[in-house]
Chains A and B, each alone.
Chain A
């Protein structure tokens, strides 16, 4: 099987949302001596681009995006350890994501993380019901470029402001952009608390993240 065949098969596993097959093809590619970085860039990323294109055209729904991203993650878990010392996967930015303290809603936040990963971001998901201090600690540890704080309740959205305050107090506010989201949030709320951006949904969050790290807009995910 040629290298090109492997790239095509990897892209197809992403299109099919088949994480088991994605990992299996990635292992076979490494065994056959195919360059891991090329597998990522020419196989997985190309597959995710096609998924995004079909999503944008209305042919794919959210499950295809998530299943494609899961397949990509499964293959990356095989391919990244095989990268050569001088190789590094292109990463658009490092993101810390979490749902704020007092709030246990995390599907939206998880969806944002999945799509950010599939779009070339390195995501640290700290989970739900996380105090502002945990966001700050994670930003420090990951040397994050972005932090995303999700709140689904009017009673918990104030924690988004608390996170910004604590990032400022820790001297990190100038080095990290803050995105807020969740049902009660809005652009006006983001402006009020001094966040750098607000997105209404996961697709919008990808576009916002790209904007905040000065990455070119993606035709599939750009608002």
Chain B
């Protein structure tokens, strides 16, 4: 017996904000043009260099530097789709990026776990991915799943084991940031094809997408770009995330950080469109801030990530916004601040996707209860962003007249009915017997334990499971 996966609840913003003016967007576009035409990007992939050269780029093969003119950039990006669908295991969990909503995902990919049962800190393992995927599958706040930690108990093909654990434990779309070599990408695509049932179905509703990080400043990774090309050829959506660090791998200014990151992303988007015009791609700007004393990185203020959303849309592609996450090493005040604001602001700027829920310590530590707590923050901002219903029933004039001055509404049918429509949290504001509220941390732990004990998503078919196992065995034999 399996349990139903609750429907996802994306953010549906009823109002919007603009952070960058049209003039500022023009400045950033000009900056990216100038950086890519004058300084260029380092591209170590021979395959990518040839593609660039064949499509009008100026390529210095000896130094592996690619320079792109504005015309070449615009011609390539004109072929990129603004909207497409990322598939779930069933159509109910498809992510239709043409809708004016924001879909949010878990964070990834950490290396440490507070064990779900013993609550002791240890290195992350595949079962952590399975368990966190099951929790994510239950939470309506999570529209798609990033493998949250690394399957370090499978050193030969950890990223494929992470996908295996994810596909087996959630019906939601899976997006991986750890498939960063060509060979691994081919196996990952084979796994996605098994989940979809056919090549055609996979292209129509890809159950997997890749996230490839560029290297700041102004460089690409050889294996990752080759993996991106393989995925794009198969119709798997590919996103490029720039993570420049203000002050170290980017200038010590926000504008300079945006310029460096955007140039990196655009160079990669251009490559994919040159090779496979119309391939689904997305833009993701996830900068950090370098601490002036220690050199360690920490997150920017929320508006910086939202500006990345506006840059993506300026280029006519979807975006994955940076949300949640943060440096807090344990659950508490620090773990609760900032991330939800980035999600809120990103959504009001029109972000298509966001990721970052459920990890601590700079996205390296999986705490069993963090996902449930972040989901609470998510729902709070989802309600903040939603349209206010001003229908007759909601305005409630009849009941206002009926109660009149100095009455109260607690004895009204209208109140009773609407109280029952309220989406009451089972984590915060849960009454205790002494009239106070129960500790949200305790409630989150209780809820996590309940989900793991009771929620078992629809399993893959036996043939799908055995196919995935066969693919993993082949990969382990080939990959070292």
Of B406, B410, B435, the residue contacting A66 (CB under 8 A) is B410
Of B406, B416, B433, B436, the residue contacting A67 (CB under 8 A) is B416
A209 to chain B, nearest CB (A): 15
A 197-223 contacts with B by CB, 8 A: 199-201, 203-204, 223
With CB as the reference atom, state the residue of chain A lying closest to B407: A107
B410 and A223 contact, CB distance less than 8 A: no
A200 and B410 contact, CB distance less than 8 A: no
B 60-74 contacts with A by CB, 8 A: none
Q: Given the known inter-chain contacts A67-B411, A70-B411, A110-B408, please indicate yes or no for A200 contacting B416, CB distance below 8 A.
A: no
With CB as the reference atom, state the residue of chain A lying closest to B415: A63
Q: Given the known inter-chain contacts A61-B420, A63-B415, please indicate yes or no for A107 contacting B435, CB distance below 8 A.
A: no
CB-CB under 8 A from B435, the residues of chain A are 199-201, 203-204
Chain A interface, DSSP helix/strand/loop, else mixed: helix
With CB as the reference atom, state the residue of chain B lying closest to A70: B411
Q: Is residue A138 within 8 Å, beta carbon to beta carbon, of the partner chain?
A: no
B419 and A63 contact, CB distance less than 8 A: yes
B411 and A107 contact, CB distance less than 8 A: no
A106 to B406, alpha carbons, bound, how many Å? Answer: 9
A208 to chain B, nearest CB (A): 11
State which size class the interface on B falls in.
Answer: 10 to 19
Count of A residues near B, CB < 8 Å? 19
Q: Given the known inter-chain contacts A61-B419, A200-B434, A204-B435, please indicate yes or no for A67 contacting B413, CB distance below 8 A.
A: yes
Query: Chain B 419-442 against A: per-residue CB contact (8 Å), 1 yes, 0 no?
Result: 110000000000001111000000
Query: Chain A 61-72 against B: per-residue CB contact (8 Å), 1 yes, 0 no?
Result: 111101100100
CB-CB under 8 A from A66, the residues of chain B are 410-411
Chain B interface, DSSP helix/strand/loop, else mixed: loop
Q: Is residue B384 within 8 Å, beta carbon to beta carbon, of the partner chain?
A: no
Q: Is residue B301 within 8 Å, beta carbon to beta carbon, of the partner chain?
A: no
With CB as the reference atom, state the residue of chain B lying closest to A110: B408
Q: Is residue B334 within 8 Å, beta carbon to beta carbon, of the partner chain?
A: no
With CB as the reference atom, state the residue of chain B lying closest to A62: B410
With CB as the reference atom, state the residue of chain B lying closest to A222: B433
A62 to B434, alpha carbons, bound, how many Å? Answer: 17
Q: Is residue B393 within 8 Å, beta carbon to beta carbon, of the partner chain?
A: no
A62 to B424, alpha carbons, bound, how many Å? Answer: 14
B416 and A223 contact, CB distance less than 8 A: no
Q: Given the known inter-chain contacts A61-B419, A63-B419, A107-B408, please indicate yes or no for A17 contacting B413, CB distance below 8 A.
A: yes
A63 and B410 contact, CB distance less than 8 A: yes
With CB as the reference atom, state the residue of chain A lying closest to B418: A63
B 398-417 contacts with A by CB, 8 A: 406, 408, 410-413, 415-416
Residue contacts A-B, CB under 8 angstroms, 12 given: A17-B411, A17-B416, A63-B415, A63-B416, A64-B416, A66-B410, A70-B411, A200-B434, A200-B436, A203-B435, A223-B433, A223-B434
- A63-B413, A70-B411 are known contacts; what are 10 more A-B pairs with Cβ within 8 Å? A17-B416, A61-B416, A64-B416, A107-B410, A111-B410, A114-B411, A200-B434, A200-B435, A201-B435, A223-B434
- A-B complex: 8 closest residue pairs judged by Cβ atoms: A200-B435, A63-B416, A66-B411, A107-B408, A61-B419, A201-B435, A63-B415, A66-B410
**Which B residues are within 8 Å of any A CB, using their own CB?**
406, 408, 410-413, 415-416, 419-420, 433-436
**Which A residues are within 8 Å of any B CB, using their own CB?**
17, 61-64, 66-67, 70, 106-107, 110-111, 114, 199-201, 203-204, 223
